[in-house]
Amino acid sequence: MFCLSCCGDRERWSRVVAMVMRAAMLQTAIGLCAIGIPVAWFCVRHIQSPVATLTLTAAAAAAGLIPA
């Protein structure tokens, strides 16, 4: 079993965690920009309501930030 206190390699461990978090945030940003926002704009074009525009845009932004 891996134990941080006995290995003394905390700096390497923190770099690995940072690398994983950076990749996850990059995938989230790409998903939001590539899927969430264009789909919201497409839906808004077909509804043509100011309230629906704001609601769908906010929903798409929230869906892009919630982890799957």
| CA angle 30–25–16, rounded 5-degree value | 135
pLDDT at 36 over 90: no
Mean pLDDT of 18-31: 90
Q: 3-state DSSP call for residue 55?
A: helix
Most confident of 7-11, 21-25, 32-36, 51-55: 21-25
Listed by start position, the domains of the chain span 34-68
Contact criterion met (CB below 8 Å) for 4 and 13: yes
Mean pLDDT of 34-39: 80
pLDDT category, 19, cuts 50, 70, 90? very high
The residue behind tokens 């929230």 is 62
Percent of the chain with pLDDT over 70: 76
